[in-house]
Amino acid sequence: MANKVKPKGQTMIKKVLVANRGEIAVRIMRSCREMGILTVAVYSDADRKAMHVLYADEAYHIGASPSSESYLNITRILEVAKACNADAIHPGYGFLSENAFFSEKCQQSGIKFIGPKPHAISQMGDKITARKTMLAAKVPVVPGTETAITDDQQAIRMIHDIGLPVMVKASAGGGGKGMRLVKRAEDIESSISAARSEAKSAFGDDAVYIEKYIESPHHIEFQILADQHGNVIQLFERECSVQRRHQKIIEETPSPILTPKVREEMGKAAVAAARAVNYEGAGTIEFIVDNQLNYYFLEMNTRLQVEHPITERVVGIDLVKEQIRIASGQKLTYQQEELQQNGHAIECRVYAEDAANNFMPDPGKVTHITIPYGVGVRVDGYIYEGFEIPTFYDPLIAKLIVWGRNREDAIERTLRALQEFKIAGVKTSLNFLENIMTAPDFKGGNYTTHFIDENINHLLNEKDACADNCEDMVVISAFLEYLYRIRKASPKEMTALKNNWKDYSRIRSVLKL
């Protein structure tokens, strides 16, 4: 059943600068356009011809290609926002989205930051502080240290208390970086120093702590929305256990393992977590869940999440519009009781990367793209034919979001859409994602974060190279089109060619190649 539609008031925000790039920048601008809000893009050298630049109402160059000189350049971004009279800045995800200093600078410049206030970002951005805050709010956290590890002896004592295996984690960590699994006591010192140096170089902060390693874990997170008037709602969970290197690649909702009772409890814990920091805006409470459905707070992401569209699809709410309404001071227009999960949604992250080569990014020029369409299918992307995917940024190039009446329908439809999805010129994770949809462990629903490691042989299976070769398909479809246009082919010949398009040798002979 769809949620009740209510009229929504106009916001005071008339122009939004999107301080981001790629699919998320375009996705945010789409909602702005629907709300009658003007959009401003900012871009680096490498992104001169990027989709977000073409899509926006206005676009301004902000610096060289490395993100430190462009998408992370706070001074330059604020200069542009002031010069073009933007009322608000949407930071997207990554880049400046979880930067408390940026949120504060926006406030000081009289520009609304579409996201939480600086105090909430700092309290949640530091994992040690977040754990303390959650303990005080009676939200269960993974057993572990309450302060940063100062010496190896303290770490060794800790291991005695909580038992091996443990995770050494960077307090400032994100994107799966700065984490080490420790299985043997003798490895603790080397793991701490490795996690420290990774954290120092990635986040400029080498504080690390220890928490118990949850065996056979599920990553389940809850979406929340909180307004400036003290109203907080949760929009149910997303199951994100299909991960490589602690990074999600497939997400689905509802989680196939949660019971209604545990879902309700976790939803309440998520709301309590948000309240504990007077949260405002859209946010995500991540939990790690063991196979007895005990759940523990992992971290809070104080921003829009990559996988937010599956929640949008199942709950029927545009989260970006809600973020904008909240930032402009409006009250939430939905009550908790009105919300429900309708059907099942799956998101596949399509990366320009080579799964067979340890998921190595493979940026380059896109020579062909066929987007899947049809019932229940949404694609959020930003690449087009001829676009050169820059080497400087995250290799995520598109997200396929599919809805079905139930999980089985959603899986069948995702597989169909993945089969239609073709990208040539760069290596992509499309084939890998297709293999996930056919993996019995995924179909069975009770998979853990070890799913990819445990199924790697099946997942790396290449399809028949001929059938999957987009370059060939482009030649073949162009040829069929040509035959059709000049009407040199009889209908029978056309049908035979179409039915046998996979028979490459036959087509080659027709083409006299």
Q: Which positions are annotated as active-site residues?
A: 303
For Mg ion, which is the closer residue by CB, 286 or 312?
Answer: 286
Q: Which of residues 338-397 bind ligand ADP (CB under 6 A)?
A: 394
Asked whether position 286 contacts ligand ADP by CB under 6 A, the answer is yes
For Mg ion, which is the closer residue by CB, 23 or 286?
Answer: 286
Instruction: For residue 393, give the nearest of 24, 115, 121 by alpha carbon.
Output: 24
Residue 440 C-beta: closest distance to ligand ADP, Å: 21
Helices 319-327/22-34 angle, 10° precision: 70
One-letter amino acid of 415? L
CB 220 within 8 A of CB 237: yes
Sheet holding 38-44, edge to edge: 58-63, 38-44, 15-18, 88-90, 112-113
Residue 202 C-beta: closest distance to ligand ADP, Å: 7
Query: What three-state secondary structure class fits 321?
Result: helix
What would the x/- binding string for ligand ADP be over residues 170 to 189, using CB under 6 A? ---xxxx--x----------
Give me the DSSP letters along 180-197.
Answer: EEE-SGGGHHHHHHHHHH
Q: Which of residues 432-491 bind ligand ADP (CB under 6 A)?
A: 449
CB 244 within 8 A of CB 436: no
Residue 174 C-beta: closest distance to Mg ion, Å: 7
Q: What contacts 86, CB < 8 A, 6 or more positions away?
A: 15, 16, 17, 40, 80, 111
Q: Which does 428 bind (CB under 5 to 8 A by kind): ligand ADP, Mg ion, none?
A: none
Stretch that binds ligand ADP, among 245-253, 264-272, 309-317, 490-498 (CB under 6 A): 245-253
CB 114 within 8 A of CB 92: no
Q: Which of 193, 228, 247, 469 binds ligand ADP (CB under 6 A)?
A: 247
Q: Which helix (H) or strand (E) holds 119?
A: helix 118-125
What would the x/- binding string for Mg ion be over residues 270 to 299, using CB under 5 A? ----------------x-------------
For ligand ADP, which is the closer residue by CB, 298 or 320?
Answer: 298
Could you tell me how many residues of this chain bind ligand ADP (CB under 6 A)? 28
What would the x/- binding string for ligand ADP be over residues 82 to 121, using CB under 6 A? -----------xx---------------------------
For ligand ADP, which is the closer residue by CB, 15 or 246?
Answer: 246
For ligand ADP, which is the closer residue by CB, 248 or 263?
Answer: 248
CB 266 within 8 A of CB 220: yes
Residue 91 C-beta: closest distance to ligand ADP, Å: 11
Residue 177 C-beta: closest distance to Mg ion, Å: 10
Query: What three-state secondary structure class fits 169?
Result: strand
For ligand ADP, which is the closer residue by CB, 307 or 472?
Answer: 307
The CB-nearest residue to Mg ion is 286
Neighbours of 393 (CB within 10 A): 22
Asked whether position 246 contacts ligand ADP by CB under 6 A, the answer is yes
| CA-based torsion, 250, 471, 363, 80: positive or negative | negative
Give me the DSSP letters along 412-438.
Answer: HHHHHHHHH-EEESS--SHHHHHHHHH
Query: What three-state secondary structure class fits 466?
Result: coil
Instruction: For residue 229, give the nearest of 318, 119, 326 by alpha carbon.
Output: 326
Applying CB under 5 A, the residues found at the interface with Mg ion are: 286
Residues that bind ligand ADP (CB under 6 A): 93-94, 142, 167, 173-176, 179, 211, 213-214, 217, 219, 243, 246-248, 286, 288, 298-299, 301, 305-307, 394, 449
